[in-house]
């Protein structure tokens, strides 16, 4: 399972929000490029960037920071926040970003999603952010009447490469992931699901590992990495490539001998 560090951008800085509340933001670094390089140096194979200003404004705001990070690291990057039209998506891909994450338009403009999935195959990821099973939009400031599982099924049919599922009530809280919601979502679709929100410990990561056979292929970790509750190297050892579960047993030894 892939462990994906999150870098949330607000006014050019690396921050974390509590339950998506812009009024409850904590600055972790004035230099998001150095943060990105740090996670890659520690073994990250992919980075998750969110333009929080963009999510609220409906257009890319932190473009210079995104470009600087893309130029500074060699691992794949996914970016979300404020992507409401084709030109914004194309702008990111021109910078070398690997995946564009669409959220609000998945609810409001499914036809645009379909067109983008056809034009950029396997590069469009749908971010489904939910409160109590209902999809939130516009930087989590509005809640729709659309069920997360319903939207995921629709987006799969339109050609989405994967779904990132965030439980807003868990995000930034360190209260653990919503395993029941993830299990329900993964059961409803066949494309990969990436978990996000609430991960607080290696124990939480190991609990997610049990959902890997159902299609949960990755987990985005944010606040816990910044607080030190999770060390990236330990997380990678626990659920990443070469984890202890994957080490073949010593076949020369038998407890029945």
- In 148-185, which positions are buried (b, 16+ CB within 10 angstroms) versus exposed (e)? bbebbebbbebbbbbbbbbbbebbbebebbbbebbbbb
Distance of CA 12 to the CA centre of its chain: 19
Q: Can 129 be counted among the known catalytic residues?
A: yes
For residue 202, the surrounding DSSP H or E stretch is helix 202-209
Q: 47-51 and 2-10: which strand pairing? A: parallel
Residues 205, 3: contact at Cβ < 8 Å?
A: yes
d(CA 195, CA 164): 6
Options 129, 167, 171, 204, the catalytic residue: 129
Q: Which residues are catalytic?
A: 8, 129
């Amino acid at each position: 399972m892939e462990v994906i560090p999150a870098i949330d951008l607000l006014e050019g800085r690396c921050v974390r929000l509590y339950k998506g509340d812009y009024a409850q933001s904590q600055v972790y670094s004035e230099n998001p490029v150095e943060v990105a390089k740090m996670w890659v140096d520690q073994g990250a194979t992919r980075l998750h960037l969110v333009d929080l200003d963009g999510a609220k404004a409906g257009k890319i705001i932190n473009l210079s920071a995104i470009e600087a990070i893309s130029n500074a690291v060699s691992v794949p990057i996914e970016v979300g926040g404020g992507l409401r039209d084709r030109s914004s998506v194309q702008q990111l891909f021109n910078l070398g970003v690997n995946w564009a994450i669409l959220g609000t338009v998945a609810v409001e403009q499914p036809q645009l999603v379909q067109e983008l999935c056809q034009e950029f195959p396997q590069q469009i990821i749908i971010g489904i952010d939910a409160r109590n099973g209902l999809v939130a939009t516009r930087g989590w400031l509005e809640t729709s009447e659309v069920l997360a599982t319903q939207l995921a099924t629709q987006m799969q049919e339109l050609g989405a490469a994967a779904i990132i599922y965030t439980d807003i009530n868990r995000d930034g809280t360190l209260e653990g992931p919503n395993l029941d919601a993830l299990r329900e979502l993964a059961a409803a679709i066949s494309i990969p699901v990436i978990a996000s929100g609430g991960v607080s410990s290696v124990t939480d990561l190991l609990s997610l590992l049990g959902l890997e056979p159902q299609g949960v292929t990755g987990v985005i970790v944010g606040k816990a990495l910044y607080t030190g509750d999770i060390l990236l190297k330990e997380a990678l050892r626990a659920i990443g490539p070469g984890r202890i579960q994957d080490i073949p047993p010593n076949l020369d030894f038998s407890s029945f001998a």
